[in-house]
Structure 1
Amino acid sequence: MTDSKDAAPAGGNPVAAATDTRTAADVVTPALVARLTRGVTGSGETAGHTPFTGEVLARLPESSAEDVGAAFARAREAGRRWARVPARERARVLLRFHDLLLDRQSEVLDLIQLETGKARLHAHEEVQAVAVVARFLGRSAPRLLRPRAHTGVLPVLTKVTELRVPHGVVGHIAPWNYPLELSAGDALPAFAAGNAVVMKPDTETALTALWARELLVGAGLPEDVWQVVLGEGPVVGPEVVARADYVTFTGSTRTGREVARAAAGRLVGSSLELGGKNAMLVLHDADLDKAAAGAVRACFSSAGQLCISIERLYVHASVADRFLERFAARTRAIRLGRSLSYGADMGSLASARQLETVVRHVGEAVAKGATVVAGGRARPDVGPFFHEPTILEGVEPPMAVCTEETFGPVVSVYRFDDEAEAVERANATPYGLNASVWTRDGRRGRALAAALRAGTVNVNEGYAAAYGSAHAPMGGVGDSGLGRRHGAEGLLKYTEARTVAQQRLVPLGPSFGLDDAAYARVMTAGLRALKSLRVR
């Protein structure tokens, strides 16, 4: 797939030279589509498109309500058998998947690029993230899921064991922006915990999810344990939520509220990662070159279509001009491209809808007095949905870009004089997903991080340090969602705790001839003794 030969607008971002001339048709062949969709339950037809050209990429099965029901029936039957497989054997499947993913990454990098429009390096971020999660779960899940002994009400006499039991069938609704990480990456802990999964990926990025499913089946996952259904979100999504024993969703806050209400109405749990308006703070002592390079990664990776990317940048007034000079120069040098090879620094937006939001936010801000420091224009010379990475200054309410999530390559810069003021302004949003602090003083950076209202905060990095550390939980607060992925919490949410208590020798009630009053006295003395002995 080659880049446009049209000249870039004067002063616009350069276009990366194409080093791979393959087209979408060279990669997404009818044979590949037939192979990947073999396990999809669907009686209709839908289609996915490539943002690089806007053309149809593949024709795919479309699932009806009856198809969703059939997928759940198969998943329940297969899931019961999968739950009986020892956790250590389930973990070995994930470790084999890890190796296959790294060995065959070029295949999925092509698909991610064609379905999302990303630059290849940003597609590789997904491979990295999924490999890290697979390794973490493969090594840690058996330990985290094993039965645990607890102190009983009467030590020694009461034996208590906590079991972890899978929910059954997890309904997973995955978005389009990270089609490998937010499909396979979120499904792996569900499988490790012993669940089956019925997934509805976004139709536009379904091939990536289906490729991951095929790879995991090749690693040893029983085929029916992972079911995929396709179709319009408002049609298929509610059918998935209505049948699931647990629901996971990544997407907009508005839709997330609907998913949460539907799950709560059935008294099943849910985990939701929703929107963000993430802030980055550059303190007066920050290394400005490193901060500028970090801001480019934090703001413009995947063309800003990342829930944890930075959209608000607060810079100490004493260094603001020097920082902006460095940041703007790096932003203007970003190479746009749509080749299936490394070399481009930023790819396309995913759709006309995403482009419209970016153009509207930038245009309204400029009309109301904001200044474009860098970028600011759509780039149809490169592809139909390309937009330059854009820095705005002078953004104020009620400009939409000030408070609404843009989900594109746009960042607004604000100056501050006092760190407490910067924290207050960063926290002045209903969202709370991710944040970033840049300083040479790690201790102060960590102190400010603790004051920022966000599920993850990175010091001297934009988002990748916290997100990539799969041993630690990641998620949002407020309008950014509930629940966590990664870490023990990200695995154990796919289970129910079951407590088994065995009472030995004496009952928990009057016995051995004690009347009620005597039993109460004995228990009172015993409780005092346990506290004195520092028994927990």
Structure 2
Amino acid sequence: MSHVSVPPILDETRLSSGRLENLSARVETTGGRESISVCAPATDDEIGTIPACTATDVEVAASRARSAQSAWAETPVEQRASILRRFGDLVSERREALLDLVQLETGKSRRHAVEEVLDVSLTCSYYAAYGPDAIAEEGRRGAIPLAADARVSYDPVGVVGIISPWNYPLTLSMTDAIPALLAGNAVVCKPDEKTPYVALALAELLEAAGLPPDVFQIVTGDGPTIGPALIDRVDYVAFTGSTETGRAVAEQAGQNLIDCSLELGGKNPMLVLADADVETAARGAVQGAFTNAGQLCLAPERIYVDDARYDAFLDAFVGATRGLTLGLAFEYGPDVGSLIDGDHTERVAAAVEAAVDDGASVVSGGRRRPDVGPFCYEPTILTEVDPDSQIACEETFGPVVSVTPVSGTDEAIERANDSPYGLNASVWTRDRERGREVAREIDCGTVCVNDAYMAGWAAVDAPMGGVGDSGLGRRHGPEGIRRYVEAQTIATSRIGPLEPPSGVPTRWFVRALSGLTALQRRLLRWSR
């Protein structure tokens, strides 16, 4: 494929090769290491190199993090919150430079890159405000009212390992780290080797915000090489990536008897009910399916439309899709940017070609666009997709979506649930209450009504995650910080050992204890 002739890519940004070299230098290694080339998808030109860390480098980083963690955990939680709040402010203040860096590494459009900056700032503010209460010591019901009590405290697990993907390098390197840090943990982050500079820039801002040295460490390199080494040296793993790799992460974490959270793949359904506003649903489909050129784990890839709305919806969706602009400018112009690299572009193109061979029709898009950029691919809508074909069952992770008519809501729900994945879904209807009822019937961790994904993702007070092959655990909300703590219960008796007093027959003691238990059961019923 021919490359586009463009000016030197760095000249279009607020960055420089020297700036990228300085970020690479933040990765500490134990000696001379091979380098990994980092390329800009907009041109496929090298923009810099990063160290190819080894298992020894991971061990050193984890050791430094562990040494720094104790003092960080002893820092008052209000002070930890203040540092993270300041970090969020710095992310907002440095927005334009961070957007340049995200675009440079991913090739996404600026309008989609800005979602990442806003998300990190919001997450910082949320956990700084509500995180301390979520992990504060609390009283619980004791064994015997008035005679015993129980209190629960929450202690950090220790060192958290974060393995983040390339598609949202700013959001997904930090969304998991922020609550982990607030809870008093140290973090070792392994960003994807395609997009390391964003994580390194964020580490620099954490330091500027006042985070003590070594509390947040970054290791760079090949996932199969340093991922297992990281899992072996941390106390918790947060992973975002493919289901196949997630299974391996979970297996190794299980062998080490450490907990993990996994956000994995999805084949997300979108349901357009008979009473839906087709124009609104079409706009939602465009936003959901083609944000970040479809390289979004929450993107709808299967759209099921009631027969009564099918033709009108398809016309509206195709019209809106054909109005999108492809481009690679470092400004708020183009609607859709690039795929990440040549291998991924080949996979997306091959998936569409295979679907057509299986009988699908391309009603919009379906072409590579080397005239725009080496890895650009048109937003693509398919119809008449074989429900058993690969593209109907497996995640494409590109700007490709199928539209299928269904005979009613029951069939839409049945088709939506006919998948091992369960990450995100959406329901479109004028009757919001009906939409919520339908949402409850869909086997997904998050379901949005009249929105493709943003209403769910941006609800940072609500848990987000997948079921089935889409993963384990939850990020966001109180659940998102409590995964990083160990609960300790301290139970205190005011009367000494709970055993028969001297001289009291055991049968009398058992009778009295049974009476107290019966009273407790009644009180518990009444308290509800």
Residue 522 of structure 2: aligned partner: 532
Report the alpha carbon displacement of residue 22 of structure 1 after superposing the two structures with TM.
Answer: 7.2
Tell me, yes or no, if the aligned pair for 1:101 and 1:215 is still in contact at 8 Å: yes
Alignment partners' CA distance in 2, 1:385 and 1:506: 72
Q: Which amino acid in structure 2 is aligned with residue 399 of structure 1?
A: S
Which of 82, 87, 94 aligns to 2:77? It is: 87
Report the alpha carbon displacement of residue 327 of structure 1 after superposing the two structures with TM.
Answer: 0.6
Whether 1:29 and 2:16 are equivalent positions in the alignment is yes
1:251-270: per-residue Cα shift (whole Å, max 9, x none)? 00000000000000011001
Report the alpha carbon displacement of residue 37 of structure 1 after superposing the two structures with TM.
Answer: 2.9
Residue 139 of structure 1: aligned partner: 129
Alignment partners' CA distance in 1, 2:217 and 2:466: 28
Tell me, yes or no, if the aligned pair for 1:248 and 1:272 is still in contact at 8 Å: yes
405-414 or 50-59: bigger deviation: 50-59
Report 1:458-469 matches (<5 A).
458-469=448-459
Tell me, yes or no, if the aligned pair for 1:39 and 1:227 is still in contact at 8 Å: no
Match of 1:451, SS state, is coil
Tell me, yes or no, if the aligned pair for 1:184 and 1:213 is still in contact at 8 Å: no
1:35-83: per-residue Cα shift (whole Å, max 9, x none)? 3233312341222111111111111122111111000110000011111
Residue 200 of structure 2: aligned partner: 210
Match of 2:81, SS state, is helix
1:102-154: per-residue Cα shift (whole Å, max 9, x none)? 11111110011011110001000111111121111010011111100011001
Alignment partners' CA distance in 1, 2:172 and 2:504: 60
Tell me, yes or no, if the aligned pair for 1:22 and 1:340 is still in contact at 8 Å: no
Report 1:87-486 matches (<5 A).
87-486=77-476
1:389-418: per-residue Cα shift (whole Å, max 9, x none)? 000000004422111100000001110111
Tell me, yes or no, if the aligned pair for 2:17 and 2:47 is still in contact at 8 Å: no
Q: Which amino acid in structure 1 is aligned with residue 493 of structure 2?
A: Q
User: What is the root-mean-square deviation in Å for CA atoms of aligned residues?
Assistant: 1.5
Match of 1:204, SS state, is coil
Q: Which amino acid in structure 1 is aligned with residue 22 of structure 2?
A: R
Tell me, yes or no, if the aligned pair for 1:87 and 1:142 is still in contact at 8 Å: yes
Whether 1:74 and 2:64 are equivalent positions in the alignment is yes
Alignment partners' CA distance in 1, 2:53 and 2:8: 31
Q: Which amino acid in structure 1 is aligned with residue 20 of structure 2?
A: V
Report the alpha carbon displacement of residue 24 of structure 1 after superposing the two structures with TM.
Answer: 2.1
Tell me, yes or no, if the aligned pair for 1:306 and 1:407 is still in contact at 8 Å: yes
Tell me, yes or no, if the aligned pair for 1:455 and 1:476 is still in contact at 8 Å: yes
Over 3 Å counting, the alpha-carbon distance change for 1:240 and 1:366 in structure 2 is same
Match of 2:105, SS state, is helix
Alignment partners' CA distance in 2, 1:341 and 1:362: 30
Over 3 Å counting, the alpha-carbon distance change for 1:310 and 1:509 in structure 2 is same
Report the alpha carbon displacement of residue 520 of structure 1 after superposing the two structures with TM.
Answer: 1.2
Report 1:501-516 matches (<5 A).
501-516=491-506
Aligned residues: 520
Alignment partners' CA distance in 1, 2:424 and 2:332: 28
Match of 1:270, SS state, is strand
Alignment partners' CA distance in 1, 2:512 and 2:20: 72
Tell me, yes or no, if the aligned pair for 1:176 and 1:204 is still in contact at 8 Å: yes
Which of 498, 509, 515 aligns to 1:519? It is: 509
Alignment partners' CA distance in 2, 1:528 and 1:387: 68
Report the alpha carbon displacement of residue 512 of structure 1 after superposing the two structures with TM.
Answer: 4.4
Match of 2:488, SS state, is strand
1:429-486: per-residue Cα shift (whole Å, max 9, x none)? 0000000011000011000000000000000000000010000000000000000000
Tell me, yes or no, if the aligned pair for 2:165 and 2:241 is still in contact at 8 Å: yes
Tell me, yes or no, if the aligned pair for 2:72 and 2:185 is still in contact at 8 Å: yes
Match of 1:342, SS state, is coil
Report the alpha carbon displacement of residue 159 of structure 1 after superposing the two structures with TM.
Answer: 2.2
Alignment partners' CA distance in 1, 2:159 and 2:273: 47
Alignment partners' CA distance in 1, 2:466 and 2:190: 22
Tell me, yes or no, if the aligned pair for 1:170 and 1:195 is still in contact at 8 Å: yes
Tell me, yes or no, if the aligned pair for 1:473 and 1:487 is still in contact at 8 Å: yes
Alignment partners' CA distance in 2, 1:473 and 1:22: 42
Q: Which amino acid in structure 1 is aligned with residue 218 of structure 2?
A: V
Tell me, yes or no, if the aligned pair for 1:288 and 1:322 is still in contact at 8 Å: yes
Tell me, yes or no, if the aligned pair for 1:87 and 1:145 is still in contact at 8 Å: no
Q: Which amino acid in structure 2 is aligned with residue 140 of structure 1?
A: Y
Which of 18, 33, 40 aligns to 2:27? It is: 40
Tell me, yes or no, if the aligned pair for 1:166 and 1:496 is still in contact at 8 Å: yes
Structure 1 residue runs of 4+, over 3 Å off?
A: 25-28, 532-536
Report the alpha carbon displacement of residue 30 of structure 1 after superposing the two structures with TM.
Answer: 3.5
Alignment partners' CA distance in 2, 1:268 and 1:325: 51
Match of 1:500, SS state, is strand
Alignment partners' CA distance in 2, 1:493 and 1:523: 36
Match of 1:319, SS state, is helix
Match of 2:119, SS state, is helix
Tell me, yes or no, if the aligned pair for 1:113 and 1:123 is still in contact at 8 Å: yes
Alignment partners' CA distance in 1, 2:292 and 2:357: 27
| Fraction of identical pairs, as percent | 47
Tell me, yes or no, if the aligned pair for 1:41 and 1:68 is still in contact at 8 Å: no
Tell me, yes or no, if the aligned pair for 1:28 and 1:58 is still in contact at 8 Å: no
Which of 31, 35, 49 aligns to 2:39? It is: 49
Report the alpha carbon displacement of residue 287 of structure 1 after superposing the two structures with TM.
Answer: 1.1
Match of 1:183, SS state, is helix
Alignment partners' CA distance in 1, 2:74 and 2:505: 46
Tell me, yes or no, if the aligned pair for 1:436 and 1:462 is still in contact at 8 Å: yes
1:271-292: per-residue Cα shift (whole Å, max 9, x none)? 0000000000111111111111
274-283 or 93-102: bigger deviation: 93-102
Match of 2:405, SS state, is strand
Alignment partners' CA distance in 1, 2:513 and 2:168: 57
Gaps of 5+ in 1: 6-17
Alignment partners' CA distance in 2, 1:145 and 1:367: 54
Tell me, yes or no, if the aligned pair for 2:283 and 2:317 is still in contact at 8 Å: yes
TM-score, with normalisation over the residues of structure 1? 0.95
86-95 or 68-77: bigger deviation: 86-95
Q: Which amino acid in structure 2 is aligned with residue 38 of structure 1?
A: A
Q: Which amino acid in structure 2 is aligned with residue 370 of structure 1?
A: A
Report the alpha carbon displacement of residue 388 of structure 1 after superposing the two structures with TM.
Answer: 0.1
Report the alpha carbon displacement of residue 526 of structure 1 after superposing the two structures with TM.
Answer: 1.4
